[in-house]
Structure 1
Amino acid sequence: MRRRTLDALLTTGGLIVAAVLLVVGGLMTWASSFVDNEVHSQLSAQHITFPAKGSEQLNDPLVKPYLEQYAGQQLTTGAQAKAWADHYIKVHLDESTGGKTYSELSAAARANPDDPKAKAMVDLAFKGETLRGLLLNAYAFGTMGKIAMYAAWASFIGAAAMIFLALLGFRHLRRVPVEEEVAIGSRHTAPKPAIA
């Protein structure tokens, strides 16, 4: 095979890989933007606002270290949703239910169906855990949006590298003599001296 043919094939392959990486990067950028916009609009619609700085609600040592950084802000991001779910709702839910899960409270309410307090605790746990789950889903999608953006950056960097290598390949292609051959799969070995 001629060296120029091999170089042309490899260089063209590099440009094809660069084009694919650019398309992937564009799609990942779109996905990241779509997820971020959806998470933001869905969370904004809930009108959840973190307690103001210095408020009594932030004095709880189980809450303050996690929510103080968001004091007074509206909940609009996945990270904020996780903080609210795990360090506000869960803390207050555990205080109200004595740390019992929905399943435990439901079993107790079924064992005593005439107890209105048990039924109220089941309703509270159900609503609290459902809201936590929805907020944690927003956090998960927000995290996927960030990962998509990192993947987009990696794709664009990879595409730039492949374009650079392809340009070097085209430059090298001009310098290779037309008649130069590439020996594929054959080895040139030095002849062994004859033994007399």
Structure 2
Amino acid sequence: MRRKTFDKIVTFVGFGLSVFLLVLSGLLNWGATFAQDSVKSQLENQNISFPAAEAMPPATKDQLAKWSKMQVTTGEMARDYADLYIWEHMKGAAKAGIGKEATYSEVSGMYMGAAKGGTATPEEIAKLGDLRQTLFMGNTLRGLLLEAYAFGTLGNIAAIAALASLVGGILLLLLSIAGIVHIRRTPEEATI
């Protein structure tokens, strides 16, 4: 095979890959921007804010202090609010209500058993019903916030991939240009 023919093929493939990577970079950047803007706007609309440091749960106060009095606007903040603030309150509510930490499904089962079993007093049933409602709302809000965290994380990953694609596309473009220069310098009779 003639060297010039091989160089032309490699250069053409390099140009094609560089165009592909540059287009991919643009699409990934668009996706990253969309994800990050969506998370921010949706969380801002919820108007959720961390309390002052002294009002945070004692078990997670040190981890949450960095967010003191700030509005939740990022995926990382949403995760911390869900896992370190709401979850601690849910555990505390269950402990206060039934004397131990329990999940929504456990308390719901206890409530259903008490309501249908007829052995609990109306006050006990009402107390379990209130706790069940509190844990349900806590789980719902946690799920929504953790969804924002996941979407924000995907946006961050897309931003990193966009940058890597951009660098790769530029590098391949430069190498392809170098290939064109090399083709011009290669003698016609050269072979591989």
- Superposition TM-score, scaled by structure 1 size: 0.88
Provide the identity percentage.
Answer: 41
State the AA in 2 paired with 1:50: F
Instruction: Verify: 1:76 aligned to 2:73, yes or no.
Output: yes
The match for 2:157 is 147
Alignment of 1:90-169 (within 5 A): 90-98=87-95, 99-113=101-115, 115-169=125-179
Which residue in the other structure is 1:61 paired with? 58
Aligned to 1:9: 9
TM-score of the two chains, using structure 2 as the length reference: 0.90
Structure 1 stretch 165-174 or stretch 11-20: which is displaced more?
Answer: 165-174
- Structure 1 unpaired stretches of 5+: 183-196
- Hey, which of these two has a bigger chunk of helix by percent? 2
Q: Which runs of 4+ in 1 moved over 6 A?
A: none
If you compute each CA radius of gyration, which structure gives the higher value, 1 or 2? 1
Aligned partner of 1:194 in structure 2 is none
Task: Tell me the equivalent position of 1:185.
Answer: none
Deviation at 1:178, TM superposition (A): 1.0
- Quote how far apart the aligned CAs of 1:62 are: 1.6
Q: Letter of the 1:25 partner, please give it.
A: S
Structure 1 residue 155, shift from structure 2 partner:
0.1
| Residue 64 of structure 1: how far off its partner (Å) | 1.5
Query: Which stretch of the first structure deviates more once superposed, 114-123 or 158-167?
Result: 114-123
Per-residue deviation, 1:123: 0.9
Aligned residues between the structures: 179
* 1:167 positional shift: 1.5
Are 2:176 and 1:179 aligned? no
Alpha-carbon distance in 1 for matches of 2:71, 2:181: 55
Unaligned stretches of 5+ residues in structure 2: 96-100, 116-121
Tell me how far apart the structure 2 counterparts of residues 74 and 154 of structure 1 sit (CA, whole Å).
32
Instruction: Report the Cα distance in structure 2 between the residues aligned to 1:52 and 1:96, rounded to whole angstroms.
Output: 20
Alignment of 1:23-62 (within 5 A): 23-53=23-53, 56-58=54-56, 60-62=57-59
Measured in 2, the distance between the counterparts of 1:143 and 1:152 equals 14
